[in-house]
Chain A
C-alpha cells in the first residue's frame, strides 16, 4: 500500500513539473470558458426574449440547470475525450522510451501497485481539471440558483467517464513506447466507445441495446440530467476494472515474453 501511495505521489507531482500539464490546463480552461460563455450568453438572450415578449416558443419553463449546466457538461465531456489521451499517453510509454520501465519492474513493487499508482495519479490530475470547472456553476449561482443534486450527479458522471477514458489510456500506453501512437490510439478507442450508441438505430433491437449499453457517453447522459442509475455506475466500474486488468496482464506478459 505504501508503494502505491509513493508511486501515486511521484506520478501526480510529476504532472505539475512538466509544462505539458499547464498547457493541458490552459487548453481545457480556454475551451471550457468558451463553451460556458456561449451557453450562458445564449441563455441570457432567451431570458431577455421571455422578459420582453412573455414565453417564447419552446422556451417555457427554462431553468439554469437544464439550460446551462447540462449543455455545459455535455460540451465538457467532448473536451475530456480530446484531452485525456494527452494526460495518459506518457504514463508507461515515457518510461519505456527512457528505459526506466525495466527499472520500475525490478523494484519490489507489485504490478497492480504500479498500474493503480499511474491510474489514480492521472485520475487525480483529471480531478483537478474538473474541480476547476466548478468556477462556472459558481458564476451562474451569482445570478440564479442551480440544482445542487443535479450538479453533483453530473460531476460524478464526468469523473466516472473520465476514469474510463484514463483506464483505456493507461492500457494503450502500456502497449507502446511511442507517446504519439499511445495518444492517438487512446483517442481512437475512446471515440469508438463514445460513438457505439449511434449505431443503435442501424442494428437490430437486441444488438442496438447492447451497443447503446457499451457506449460511454450514453451512461454519462443519465448522470448529466440528474439521474443516478445503478447500471451506469456498475458499467463504468466494470469498464475500468477490465481495462486495468488487461494492463496488468500486459505488464505480466512482458516478464515471460522476455
Chain B
C-alpha cells in the first residue's frame, strides 16, 4: 500500500515536472519566435538633434536601387577605436536594404584574406558587387555611399597612360614601376590601359583621362596636338614631369597659365628628417578639393617647381597645391649641380616655400588652344594636374607618407568623382563648451561628491535610529 502511494507520488511529480518543462520550452520557443520577428523588422527612432543615426535621403535612394547583394569587408584591427561607430553605420545600411551585407575582418588575425583583397590599411573596406570591387579608407556615410554609387554605375572609366617616351612603366614591379599605383586605381573602380599616342590613328573613345607619367623624351607635335584635342573635348590630363625634360609639354602648359620651372628643388628639412636633399617634403597645401582635410605630409622625388604664371589666361583657374617648407629652394644652376654636385641658394634661385604641383580647370580649352573641335561649342571644361616629379607615385614612394591618398584624390578629382554624392549635414555644430570657474568647480564637486551622498547617509541613520527606538 505504502509502495503504491510512493509510486503514485513519483508519477505525479514526473507529470508535474514534465508539464513544467513543456511549458518552459513552449515559452522559450515563443520568445525566440518573437525575437526573430522583431530582429528582422526592427524600426529605429533617432531622437538626436542632428539625426546623427539616420541615413541621408541620398543614401536611402542609392540603397533602394541595389538589386543584388553588396558585401562589405571592413578590415579593422580589434583595437581600432572607430569600429563601434563604423559597425553602427554599416548596420543602418543593412537595415535599409538586406542586400547590403558586411563583415569585419581583423587585419592582424587574417592577413591572408587582407592580401587576397589587396588591403594593407587598417580601416580599409572592400565592397564587392557583381564581381566588381571598390575600396574606401574612410568610414563616413559619404565615402560608403559614393563607393556604392561607383559600384552600381555600369560604366567603368578607363584611364590611359602614355608610353613610348621612357615613362614609368604601368606594369613595372621595380622601384620605378607603377604596378602598385595601377592596383590602387583598380581598387577605386577604374580601368587602366597604356597608349602610344604617336601610333594611334584616333584617340580611343573610352579614354576618360590621360596620365603622362615622367616621360624621358619629349613628345612629338602630333602627340601634343592629340593631348590638346583630348582636352578640348573636356578630357582631363594628369602630368607628372621630370625636372629637366618635356620642353613641348612645358610650352603647352605655359599657354594654360602653368609654369614648370627649369630647376631642381633642394630641401634641407628632408635631409634633417632622414631623407635626401632632393626628396622634398610637402607639409603645406593650397585650398582645393584634392587637399581638403589633408593633414599628412607628402614626400616627392627629384622635383621641379610647378607654379601659376603671373598672368594666366582668364579661361583657366589654377591653384597651387603643394608647398615645401621655408628650408627648401629651387636650384636653377643645374649645370653646377650636375658637374660639381654642389648647390647653394643665391639670387637666381627661388626661395622656399616653393610650389611643386598645380591643379587647373580650363574653361573652353578648344578656344584657348585655338583648335576647332566638334564639341568646342559645348563649352566643355578640362581638368589638369601638373606635378613636378613622377617618383611619388612609383612603387618605391607610393606608400610613403600621404602619397597614396594624395594621388588617389587626384585621380578622383580629374574624373570628377571626388564627391559623387555630397552628404551635407550638421553633424558637428558649434562646440558646446563649459568653462568652469574655480567657484563653479567647487560647487559641482560639493554637490556631486559630498552633499548628495551625505544626505542619504544622514537620512538613513535617522530612520534607522527612529525605528530602533520605536521597536
Known A-B contacts A59-B431, A144-B432, A231-B39; the reply to A34 vs B449 at CB < 8 A is yes
Q: With A26-B460, A150-B48, A227-B44 as given contacts, are A64 and B31 in contact (CB-CB < 8 Å)?
A: no
Contact B432 A246 (CB under 8 A): no
**Is A61 in contact with B47, judged by CB distance below 8 angstroms?**
no
Decide yes or no: A253 and B16 within 8 Å by CB, A48-B435, A50-B433, A226-B47 being known contacts. yes
Q: A37-B448, A61-B427, A227-B45 are in contact. List 19 more A-B contacts (CB 8 A).
A: A19-B464, A22-B464, A37-B444, A40-B444, A41-B436, A41-B441, A50-B433, A61-B429, A63-B429, A136-B448, A139-B444, A143-B434, A149-B48, A205-B103, A213-B35, A213-B39, A226-B46, A238-B35, A253-B17
Q: Is the CB of B460 within 8 A of A44?
A: no
Query: In the bound complex, do residue A229 and residue B43 qualify as a contact, i.e. CB atoms below 8 Å apart?
Result: yes
Closest CB pairs A-B (n = 3): A22-B460, A61-B428, A47-B433
> Which A-chain residue is minimally distant from B41 (CB atoms)?
A230
Q: Are A227 and B46 in contact (CB under 8 A)?
A: yes
> Which residues of B, 39-58, contact A by the 8 Å Cβ criterion?
39, 41-49, 52-53
A70, B271: Cα distance in complex, Å: 48
- Interface mask (A141-163 → B, CB under 8 Å = 1, otherwise 0): 00111010110110000000000
Q: How far is the CA of A135 from the CA of B106 in the complex (A)?
A: 42
B4 at the interface (CB under 8 A from A): no
Chain B 95-109, CB-CB to A under 8 Å as 1, else 0, gives 000000001101000
- Chain B contacts for A153, CB-based, 8 A: 47
CB within 8 Å: A-B pair count: 172
Residues of chain A with a CB closer than 8 A to B460's CB: 19, 21-23, 25-26
B449 in contact with A234 (CB, 8 Å) = no
Known A-B contacts A63-B431, A226-B53; A29 and B464 likewise in contact (beta carbons under 8 Å): no
**Cα(A252)–Cα(B34), bound, Å:** 25
| CB-nearest residue of chain A to B46 | A227
What chain B residues lie within 8 Å of A22 (beta carbons)?
Answer: 456-457, 459-461, 463-464
Contact present for B53 and A44 (CB under 8 Å): no
Q: Which of B78, B433, B452 counts the most A-chain CB atoms under 10 A from its CB?
A: B433
**Cα-based distance from A213 to B36 in the complex (angstroms):** 11
A–B Cβ pairs within 8 angstroms, 19 of them: A26-B456, A33-B453, A34-B448, A44-B441, A47-B434, A61-B427, A61-B429, A65-B49, A135-B447, A144-B434, A147-B49, A150-B49, A201-B106, A222-B44, A225-B48, A229-B45, A241-B27, A245-B24, A249-B23
> When A29-B456, A36-B448 are in contact, do A201 and B104 touch as well, CB less than 8 Å?
yes
Residues of B within 8 A of A230 (CB): 38, 41-44
- In the complex, which residues of chain B have a beta carbon less than 8 angstroms from the beta carbon of A62? 431-433
Residue among B45, B428, B432 with max Cβ neighbours from chain A (10 Å): B432
- Interface of B toward A, CB cutoff 8 Å: 12-13, 16-17, 20, 23-24, 27-28, 31, 34-35, 38-39, 41-49, 52-53, 78, 103-104, 106, 427-436, 440-441, 444-445, 447-450, 452-453, 456-457, 459-461, 463-464, 467
- Taken residue by residue from 1 to 41, chain A's Cβ proximity to chain B (1 for < 8 Å, 0 otherwise) reads as 00000000000000011010111011001101110110011
Contact of A234 among B35, B441, B445, B450 (CB under 8 A): B35
The one of A33, A50, A145 in contact with B449, judged by C-beta atoms closer than 8 angstroms, is A33
Compute how far the CA of A175 lies from the CA of B447 in the bound complex, rounded to whole angstroms: 41
A40-53 to B contact mask, C-beta < 8 Å, 1/0: 11011001101100
**Interchain CB contact (< 8 A) of B20 among A150, A201, A205, A249:** A249
Q: A124: CB under 8 A from chain B?
A: no
Q: Please indicate the chain B residues that have their CB under 8 angstroms from the CB of A36 in the complex.
A: 448
Contact B448 A33 (CB under 8 A): yes
The residue of chain B having its C-beta at the shortest distance from the C-beta of A200 within the complex is: B104
State whether A238 and B31 are in contact (beta carbons under 8 Å apart), knowing that A17-B463, A25-B460, A50-B431 are contacts in the complex.
Answer: yes
Query: Closest residue of chain A to B452, judged by CB?
Result: A29
In the bound assembly, the distance between CA atoms of A98 and B20 in angstroms comes to 27
A60 within 8 A of B: yes
Q: How far is the CB of B460 from chain A (nearest CB, A)?
A: 2
Bound state CA distance, A32 and B449, in angstroms? 9
B385 to chain A, nearest CB (A): 29
Q: Chain B residues near A152 (CB, 8 Å)?
A: 47
Please name the residue on chain A nearest to B443 by beta carbon: A139
Q: Which of B441, B450, B456, B461 contacts A25 (CB 8 A)?
A: B456
**A55 an interface residue at 8 Å Cβ cutoff?**
yes
Is B78 touching A139 in the complex (CB atoms < 8 A)? Answer: no
Chain B residues near A253 (CB-CB < 8 A): 16-17, 20
Contacting pair A51 B35 (CB below 8 A): no
Q: How far is the CA of A195 from the CA of B384 in the complex (A)?
A: 55
Task: For residue A135, give the distance in angstroms from its CB to the closest CB of chain B.
Answer: 6
Give chain B nearest CB distance to A128 CB in angstroms.
11
B84 nearest in chain A by CB position: A221
Chain B residue contacts of A147, Cβ below 8 A: 47-49
Q: Name the one of B20, B31, B39 contacting A252, with C-beta atoms under 8 angstroms.
A: B20
B24's partner among A16, A19, A249 (CB-CB below 8 A) is: A249
A193 within 8 A of B: no
If A227-B44, A228-B45 touch, whether A30 touches B453 (CB-CB below 8 Å) is yes
Decide if B48 touches A226 in the complex (CB within 8 Å).
Answer: yes
A119 CB to nearest B CB, Å: 17
Whether the pair A139, B457 counts as a contact (CB closer than 8 A) is no
